[in-house]
Chains A and B, each alone.
Chain A
Amino acid sequence: MSPVLQIAEDVRTGRERAVSVVEAALQEARTDRLGAFVHLQTEDALDRALAIDTAIDRGDDPGPLAGVPVAIKDNIAQAGQPLGCASKMLQGYTAPRSATAVQRLVAAGAVPIGRTNMDEFGMGSSGENSSHGPTCNPWDPTRVPGGSSSGSAAAVAAGIVPAALGSDTGGSVRQPASLCGVVGLKPTYGRISRSGLVGFGSSVDQVGPMAASVRGVAALLAVMAGPDPLDSTSLGSGPEDWVGACDRDPKGLRIGLPRQCWTGAGEVEDAVRRAVLALEDAGAELVDVDLPSLAMAIPTYYLLTSAEASSNLSRFDGVRYGARVAAKEIGQMVAQTRSEGFGPEVQRRILLGTFALSAGYAEDYYERADAVRDQMRAELCSALQGVSALAMPTSPTTAFRLGERVDDPVSMYLSDVFTTPPSLTGLPAISVPAGLLQGLPVGLQLVGRMEDEATILGLAAAVESWRGPLGADGRLGDAL
């Protein structure tokens, strides 16, 4: 059974006390040497755990995730807790209200224990762009955990918490999940409300669950999904039995392999292909598909999201939120606050986005990228009429060394080559560990039809069954 569901069952049936489970997770987090957490909310977590135990003693239903400790990425609001986005710009800022996703998790009995490290405002693929310093990969602390949900992935992989929330704009849940050997899901755009998620690229941002197993991710999705009047882009359809969908048989399903993602070269591709072949052995049919626009994913994604970021982040001006640099004139104050508050990568994206939207260039960059996105969406949706899902590696590499790419933005951006197409098109996508390569995890990405998380959860669970335990003795994070 998945650790998430096991803990919930143990707490609900009285085999474990929520306070004991949460205290154990907090203890692990206090001794975290990975830099996964930026804040622990000990008192709040223990109060919630006690309330769950009291509810159980009274005979009340404490919710399907009773007593499950979870970690929350530092860009998802929880009332009364710091909301920093790993940025100097929001140092000292406390969230006045909770994100809908967090509200629903808590209502289901989950217990947030702390805020996790991340690339500043979600901009990065290595976890190194943080005002708190980098997060390390539990499988090899000299390597990156991926990003931007670096702390959430590391905390789950190290066994500190069984599940965590991340946010995914261009792969920020799936890529760190792949590099840390955990499961990460980016749901269909609109599946989980964005209310309370600090905006980066609003047309692609999604909250996504991360867990040690596919069923854990499904259980979190089931309580967070659904319409929300606070987010006009949230889908109208309600939650489904996604945990039950994990038992679906892959037999008879057609899985598309985009030629652009399977070049026949590289050890990562070989490792991921074995997982795909296991699905074929289980009765799925593999077919090649051609998706030419995937070659444009990186420029399209970086132009569109940087443009949106330049607008979204204009609200951070020293007046309304967080830090302020004193200056004699308001214009100086705004410019100095933004220059000192934002880190180098965030400033780079703001400049790129402002350029892409500026007079004389908007047509060639922003509008062109928008048109390419339309074509990509049409191509992927058309391909998915003939197949149930697409399969490809989540990341072209395993975890790289800390510092290896920090001075080369384009090289860093290329880490997202396989994760950006589902983001740009709004399709659901999951990363599931496919195995180890030289002691480091590699992930298989499965992309589903719009609003069809069930199929990719079922396929991912089948890969999980085939693969067996990832660590030496079956526990993620024992490589530490």
Chain B
Amino acid sequence: MAVGPETVRHIAQLARLELPEDRLAEVAVELSAILAHMDAIASFQLGAAARDDGPRPQRRPDTPVDFSDSSLVQAPTEGTEVLVPQVKDAS
């Protein structure tokens, strides 16, 4: 499996990592080499012991976290700081 810079950009967004544009191609080559080794499992003959039935796992959509829509934005702020309630009995 070969991945390209576009896939790497999308994966990095999902992983909340900031990859510079000029590194995307390099990382794509690196990940492709690793995935080429991982691809061996596709052709491995699975026997009856391998769990291949039962309910499929449910996953949330692949959407990068949108911080502008996060609950933090609703919190009161002072300058650039988010205000939180005082811890009980803290000085």
Q: Check A364/B17 contact, CB under 8 A, given A370-B51, A410-B34.
A: no
Interface size class, chain B: 35 or more
Q: Is the CB of A334 within 8 A of B67?
A: yes
Q: Is the CB of B41 within 8 A of A368?
A: yes
Q: How far is the CA of A290 from the CA of B77 in the complex (A)?
A: 64
Q: How far is the CA of A377 from the CA of B65 in the complex (A)?
A: 36
A351 within 8 Å of B (CB atoms): yes
Q: List the count of A-B residue pairs having beta carbons below 8 Å apart.
A: 114
Q: Which among B19, B31, B49 has the greatest number of chain A C-beta atoms within 10 A?
A: B49
Which chain A residues lie closer than 8 Å to B65 at the CB level? 331, 334
B88 within 8 Å of A (CB atoms): no
Q: How far is the CA of A299 from the CA of B39 in the complex (A)?
A: 8
- One digit per residue, 1 when the CB lies within 8 angstroms of any chain A CB and 0 when it does not, for chain B 28-42 equals 001101110111111
Q: Check A330/B17 contact, CB under 8 A, given A351-B31, A374-B50.
A: no
A79 within 8 Å of B (CB atoms): no
Q: Check A355/B41 contact, CB under 8 A, given A347-B17, A378-B49, A379-B49.
A: no
B85 within 8 Å of A (CB atoms): no
Q: Check A299/B40 contact, CB under 8 A, given A371-B50, A378-B49.
A: yes
Q: How far is the CA of A74 from the CA of B15 in the complex (A)?
A: 25
Q: How far is the CA of A348 from the CA of B72 in the complex (A)?
A: 29
Q: Is the CB of A357 within 8 A of B59?
A: yes
Closest to A333 in B: B67
Q: Is the CB of B17 within 8 A of A375?
A: no
Q: How far is the CB of B24 from chain A (nearest CB, A)?
A: 11
Q: Check A365/B38 contact, CB under 8 A, given A372-B44, A372-B46.
A: yes
B3 within 8 Å of A (CB atoms): yes
Q: How far is the CB of B81 from chain A (nearest CB, A)?
A: 12
Closest to B45 in A: A292
List residues 31-79 of chain B with CB under 8 A from any CB of chain A: 31, 33-35, 37-42, 44, 46-47, 49-52, 57, 59, 61-62, 65-68, 70, 72
Q: How far is the CB of B50 from chain A (nearest CB, A)?
A: 4
Closest to A359 in B: B62
Q: How far is the CA of A339 from the CA of B51 in the complex (A)?
A: 36
Which chain A residues lie closer than 8 Å to B19 at the CB level? 339
B22 within 8 Å of A (CB atoms): no
Q: Is the CB of A351 within 8 A of B38?
A: no
Q: How far is the CB of A205 from chain B (nearest CB, A)?
A: 20
Which chain A residues lie closer than 8 Å to B61 at the CB level? 359
Closest to B47 in A: A375
Which chain B residues lie closer than 8 Å to A329 at the CB level? 67
Which chain B residues lie closer than 8 Å to A336 at the CB level? 18
Closest to A303 in B: B38
B2 within 8 Å of A (CB atoms): no
Q: Which among B15, B27, B68, B80 has the greatest number of chain A C-beta atoms within 10 A?
A: B15
Q: How far is the CA of A473 from the CA of B8 in the complex (A)?
A: 54
Q: How far is the CB of B58 from chain A (nearest CB, A)?
A: 11
Q: How far is the CA of A368 from the CA of B52 in the complex (A)?
A: 9
Q: Is the CB of A314 within 8 A of B16?
A: yes
List residues 343-366 of chain A with CB under 8 A from any CB of chain B: 347-348, 350-352, 354-355, 357-359, 362, 364-365
Q: Is the CB of A339 within 8 A of B40?
A: no
Which chain B residues lie closer than 8 Å to A29 at the CB level? none
Q: Is the CB of B17 within 8 A of A351?
A: yes
Please, how many residues of chain A have a CB less than 8 angstroms from a CB on the other chain? 49
Q: How far is the CB of A375 from chain B (nearest CB, A)?
A: 4
A298 within 8 Å of B (CB atoms): yes
Closest to B65 in A: A331
Q: Is the CB of A293 within 8 A of B67?
A: no
Q: Check A296/B14 contact, CB under 8 A, given A351-B27, A367-B57.
A: no
Q: How far is the CA of A332 from the CA of B12 in the complex (A)?
A: 13
A300 within 8 Å of B (CB atoms): yes
Cross-interface CB contact of A348 among B30, B52, B80, cutoff 8 Å: B30
Q: How far is the CA of A299 from the CA of B42 in the complex (A)?
A: 10
Q: Which among A299, A342, A364, A367 has the greatest number of chain B C-beta atoms within 10 A?
A: A299
Which chain B residues lie closer than 8 Å to A413 at the CB level? 34, 37
Cross-interface CB contact of B42 among A314, A368, A379, cutoff 8 Å: A368
B83 within 8 Å of A (CB atoms): no
Q: Is the CB of A354 within 8 A of B15?
A: yes
Which chain A residues lie closer than 8 Å to B30 at the CB level? 348, 409
Q: Is the CB of A375 within 8 A of B34?
A: no
Which chain B residues lie closer than 8 Å to A347 at the CB level? 17
Q: How far is the CA of A183 from the CA of B62 in the complex (A)?
A: 44
Q: Check A330/B37 contact, CB under 8 A, given A336-B18, A350-B15, A351-B15.
A: no
Known: A317-B16, A358-B14, A375-B49. 11 other contacts (CB 8 A): A296-B41, A299-B37, A310-B15, A330-B70, A338-B15, A350-B15, A352-B31, A359-B61, A364-B42, A374-B49, A377-B49
Q: Which residues of A contact B (CB under 8 A)?
A: 293, 295-296, 298-300, 302-303, 310, 314, 317, 328-332, 334-336, 338-339, 342, 347-348, 350-352, 354-355, 357-359, 362, 364-365, 367-372, 374-375, 377-379, 409-410, 413
Identify 14 residue pairs between A and B in the complex whose beta-carbon atoms are under 8 Å apart, listed by A's number: A296-B41, A331-B65, A334-B16, A334-B67, A350-B15, A350-B17, A355-B11, A358-B14, A358-B62, A365-B38, A367-B57, A371-B46, A371-B52, A374-B50
